Amino acid sequence: MPRLSRDFFARDTLVVARELLGQRLVRVLDGQRLAGRIVEVEAYVGEEDQASHARFGATRRNAPMYGPAGHAYVYFIYGMHYCLNVVTEREGYPAAVLIRALEPLEGSEAMRVRRGSVPDVQLTSGPARLCQALGIDRQFDGADLCASDALLFMEKDTALLDDAVATGPRIGVRGDEIALAAPWRWYVREGREGKGRNGTRDTQHVTRNT
């Protein structure tokens, strides 16, 4: 499968986020492919977005968000977890798509080793879980996902019809009314795993704040 090009990422963040659903995230680890279908994402757009790490302007931490599209922004949070974003739009404008969940497609055995004994549904269903499963940490902060020798990249896979996609407010964000209300989370509707608390914390998830 062809890889997603820089031109793909250097577009409106909301469009990129929607179109990333169904594509494949690939991590080459110890010569082995660990990969999954992207099934949940969130968009963070500009300094005006009060939920974005860029809301206070550029810092050392969020610097990749201001860089060229197609690079990774990996941040460390809560003292334990890493989360992966792909930078979008033009250089100088801070925007990115947070990858929140994957459906494992390749190398799930290796993922399981990294994740410990958790139910399969929890292998990559969460922004920090998928980073642990694929071995994504600080070393990928700022990495170019479009480089020919990248060990982390995205491949064109399945385009999803709108019927298969749902949107809603972003999870766990703080900010102003606009940030709380913006339907900038996209996820694949639960097909078979049944609905409910498993997997991606899905459908209705009340944003906790005021």
Partner DNA sequence: GGATCGATCGGCT
Partner DNA sequence: GCCGATCGATCCG
Choice between 37 and 129, CB closer to DNA: 129
Does 59 contact DNA by CB under 7 A? yes
Phi-psi region of 30 (alpha: psi -120 to 50; beta: other; left: phi over 0): left
Site for DNA in 152-171 (CB under 7 A): 170-171
Phi-psi region of 65 (alpha: psi -120 to 50; beta: other; left: phi over 0): alpha
Does 81 contact DNA by CB under 7 A? yes
* Token duo for residue 28: 């080459």
What is the contact mask toward DNA in residues 36 to 55, using x (rule: CB under 7 A)?
Answer: ------x-x------xxxx-
Using CB under 7 A, pick the residue from 2, 31, 57, 191 that binds DNA: 57
Sign of CA dihedral 24, 28, 29, 31: positive
- Contact between residue 190 and residue 202 where contact means Cβ atoms under 8 Å apart: yes
Distant-in-sequence, close-in-space partners of 71: CB < 8 Å, separation ≥ 6: 64, 86, 87, 142, 143, 144, 145
Using CB under 7 A, pick the residue from 22, 36, 64, 126 that binds DNA: 126
Choice between 76 and 156, CB closer to DNA: 76
Q: Interface residues with DNA (CB under 7 A)? A: 42, 44, 51-54, 56-57, 59-62, 65, 73, 75-81, 83, 85, 96, 98, 115-116, 118, 122, 126-129, 132, 170-174, 201
